[in-house]
Structure 1
Amino acid sequence: MKAQGGRVEAMSGAAARLHKLFEGHRLTPTQRRIAQCMVRRADDAPFLSSVELAELAGVSQPSVTRFAVALGFDGYPALRRHLRETPGAGAPGGGGEHTANAYQQAVREEIDNLRLLAAQLADPAPVVEAARVLAGSRPLPVLGLRAASAQARGFAYFAAKVHPDVRLLDEGGTMLADRIDAAGRAGATALMCFALPRHPREVQGAVEQARAAGLRIVTVADSAFAPVAHPEDILLPAAVGTGLVFDTACAPMLLGRVLLEAMCDELPDAQARLEEFDARAAERGLFLP
């Protein structure tokens, strides 16, 4: 997770303190799920019981205890005591959000996710580095399966307007490995990956294949603790909302657009390509007036 330390420094408040606490620990997928839940509920985390945290994260209570031990504490009570004693820990609750209905709460959660993303982007270095890596890859494969396929497709659609060779990989199956191999043989040096819950096993296999072939992986994921995370990759976290039956992914979508903006700065002919497209679109009457 390159430059993760810089991102954490750019963040503020309870979420940043939790990121620093978790950083450097090798966590199991279940433990990463607990860590993600605590980051999402950063203000309330010091006041949650192990049972409450287990229910919120969708894991067992013993898993919460093992998570605390993995962080170096004697148990969950010691972890909670540490969080409460950390400077800056406040009181539980979020300023009257208990009065909101479920739909309003889901929107507020997404707003919080966007605020967290804005704080991370105070240090633009990781995004700039990722854009440089992606802009230099010919071709540029863009991977996103299942829930992440919409993010990958949107990114690839706009990237193709400024990048000469974008290859969308939004379907799994036996052909996926063939298409990654083909991109590598054609000269690809990087792969753009969108990884969102629930994380398909095929995504992990695909990025491992690309990494083994020498491609640099840039991943937009729901958390710095996503299962596909790897120390050699550039990981750009953007939280998803979990307040509705189906996850919402406003922050990952926006982060993808930010990354495209940075790519345009790295592609010297980006503006010329955009103007050429606009001219052709006007000639063909492609869009309604």
Structure 2
Amino acid sequence: MSNAAGGESGASGAAGGAGGRLLKLFEAHRLTPTQRRIAHCLVRRAGDAPFLSSVEVAELAGVSQPSVTRFAVALGFDGYPALRRHLREVAPSSTAPEVGCNEYQQAVIAEIENLRHLAAVLADPGPVSRAGALLAGSVPLPVLGLRAAGAQARGFAYFAAKVHPDVRLLDEGGTMLADRIDAAARAGASALLCFALPRHPREVIDALAHAREAGLTVVTVADSAFAPVAAHSDLLLPAAVGTGLAFDTACAPMLLGRVLLESMCDELPDAQARLEEFDAQAAARGVFVE
């Protein structure tokens, strides 16, 4: 089943391995905001990218056809046809469906590829370590995630509250969102963690811009380094979503959130003591069935 264009999911067909190769190609160049939008579109449609015409890419990205041509030239190609030939040369194996696999199995296989790409990215632990230090040092720590990203934000906040003294979940939009960000900043917050997944609500972009104006350092977990939130993030950690089903799957962003929790715990000297205290209290109250 392909993705519904109007739902919370993104466009269908992205393969983890192909998306990783596209990211490496695009990240090696300085791109304009319009070109980043095209790059984000191609990463999201990594499985289809080698076969899309420049007109189709323009329609999907919401830009003009000449913008797609200029994008290809900015990457060092003579034009879009040369870029498409290159994509066909570097990504044919990842676009081929697994023989004998049904659509559900293919979705799982694509998600496994996303996790493999995340593992490769984490070979350099520097960005996650920096993020962990920023999050641990922010008291309170606001955690933002709206719509599709709400589950990731709630999951992170639930576990983070066991080791961090003051975690504030921001999973509802509206006019009070800016007020809650301001309140966190006044209370001493120095950083904000955001989970941003497609489709990206405009409200999240506005909230991140407001957070930075309030003096907060924005750490973002997003589906791509070219996601719309990138321009409003101080440290962006990408983790691809699976797009083979009607609604996106977010195994890699969820796992990256847990990795961030581990990094944050490493920076909190009393994290282990807090966990032990929670376990003792939970046992005394009979919270869990053993």
**Alignment TM class, shorter chain as reference:** 0.7 to 0.9
Which of 79, 82, 90 is the matching residue for 1:78?
A: 82
Asked if the contact 2:240–2:252 (Cα under 8 Å) also holds between the matched residues in 1, the reply is yes
**Residue identity matched to 1:207:** L
Are positions 1:255 and 2:262 aligned together? no
Structure-2 separation of matches of 1:158 and 1:146: 20
Tell me the equivalent position of 1:22: 26
For the aligned residues, what is the CA RMSD? Answer: 2.7
Change (3 A) 1:101 1:183: same
Q: Residue deviations 1:70-96, cap 9 Å, x none?
A: 5454421121244467xxx36445565
Q: CA deviation at 1:169?
A: 0.2
- Residue 100 of structure 1 deviates from its aligned partner by 1.7
Question: Equivalent pairs: percent with the same residue?
Answer: 70
Higher relative contact order (CA 8 A, sep 6+): 2
Corresponding residue for 1:141? 142
Q: Is the 8 A contact 1:195 1:219 kept in 2?
A: yes
Q: 1:55 to 1:107 in 2, by over 3 A?
A: farther
Report SS of the residue matched to 1:141. strand
- Helix, strand or coil: the match of 1:167? strand
Note the C-alpha offset of 1:37: 2.9
CA distance in 1, matches of 2:116, 2:56: 23
Q: What letter is aligned with 2:43?
A: Q
Residue deviations 1:19-53 (CA, integer Å, cap 9, x gap): 23312212426414323235x43xx75x4242797
Residue pairs, 1:1-289, within 5 angstroms: 15-23=19-27, 24-28=30-34, 30-37=37-44, 40-41=46-47, 45=49, 47-50=50-53, 54=57, 62=65, 64-65=68-69, 67-83=71-87, 89=90, 91-92=92-93, 97-230=98-231, 233-289=234-290
Deviation of residue 233 (structure 1)?
0.8
C-alpha contact 2:208 2:218 (8 A) present in aligned 1 = yes
- Give the TM-score normalised by structure 1: 0.84
Q: Cα 1:238–1:65, aligned 2, differ >3 Å: closer, same or farther? A: same
Q: Residues 37 and 56 of structure 1 are in contact (CA less than 8 Å); yes or no, is this contact kept in structure 2?
A: no
Query: Which sections of structure 1, spanning at least 5 residues, go unmatched?
Result: 1-11
The alignment of Structure 1 onto Structure 2 pairs a total of residues equal to 271
Deviations 1:118-165 (A, max 9, x none): 110111110000000000001000000000000000000000000000
Letter in 2 for 1:158: F
Code of the aligned partner of 1:163: H
Partner SS, residue 99 of structure 1: coil
* C-alpha displacement of 1:247: 0.7
Deviation (angstroms), 1:205: 0.6
Tell me, which stretches of 5 or more residues in structure 2 are unaligned? Answer: 1-15
Aligned-partner Cα distance in 1 for 2:217–2:41: 28
CA change 1:190–1:64 in 2 (3 A) is same
Counterpart amino acid of residue 255 in structure 2: L
Secondary structure of 1:243's aligned partner: coil
- Amino acid in structure 2 at the alignment position of 1:21: L
